[in-house]
Amino acid sequence: MGSSSWSYVVAYQPDISAALAELRQATYDAGAYYREEPDPNLSLSEDEFRARLDPAWDDLGINESLLQEWQEAKARPPVTGPDSLLNSQPHSGTHSIIDMANGVSVTPRPFTVSPLSDDELGQHFGTTAPSHDQVEGWMKAGGSGRSGWVGVYVISYEHGRPAHIHFGGYSGD
């Protein structure tokens, strides 16, 4: 499938971590994320699952590996929120802000959002206080400036005051 780009805008609040947590929950509540198709094998008992394995793979260790993977998937808790959703599909992610499960960081790190530096703000916007339209245009042009699974946030300003937080990035496989 490949990764997907995503961007969101919320009203400014000084607590970026709280804004991120609220946005992740709102995205989950709205169902605005990728969800893997349920694996029909997870409705089987262990005996039924074992009966479907190919005996020719026993000596190669493939069946044990498949069984272990099935047991791990079967043991995952039910999906009840953004974190359990992400844990239920660790290989694909959600292709959304939900994938930023490790919160906010000062510098770019996997599964987090971090701000642009003052130098990056100057380079992209010519100011450290960009307008909403400047940030939106940059985001629409794919300007997160980060690699996959690493998000960014930019605060936009109106009349010299913080007005919005823009989140963007790429995630999912």
- Pair (21, 78) in one structural domain: no
Q: What percentage of residues in the chain have a pLDDT greater than 90?
A: 77
| pLDDT band per the 50, 70, 90 thresholds, residue 109 | very high
- Pair (57, 25) in one structural domain: no
Q: What is the predicted pLDDT for the residue at 95? A: 96
Q: What is the predicted pLDDT for the residue at 77? A: 79
- Pair (28, 100) in one structural domain: yes
- Pair (103, 163) in one structural domain: yes
Instruction: Kindly report each contact of residues 85-90 with a partner whose C-beta sits within 8 Å and lies 24 or more positions away, as own/partner.
Output: 85/28, 85/33, 85/35, 88/36, 89/35, 89/36
Q: What is the predicted pLDDT for the residue at 167? A: 97
- Pair (98, 81) in one structural domain: no
Contact between 101 and 82 under an 8 Å Cβ cutoff? The reply is: yes
- Residues 63-90 have a mean pLDDT of 90
Q: Indicate the pTM of the whole model.
A: 0.85
Number of domains in the chain: 2
- Pair (118, 45) in one structural domain: no
- Pair (63, 10) in one structural domain: no
- Pair (101, 20) in one structural domain: yes
Higher pLDDT, 1 or 60: 60
- Pair (102, 156) in one structural domain: yes
Domain assignment of residue 147, given as a range? 1-33+93-173
Q: What percentage of residues in the chain have a pLDDT greater than 70?
A: 99
> Is it the case that residue 88 has pLDDT exceeding 70?
yes
Higher pLDDT, 118 or 39: 118
- Pair (156, 98) in one structural domain: yes
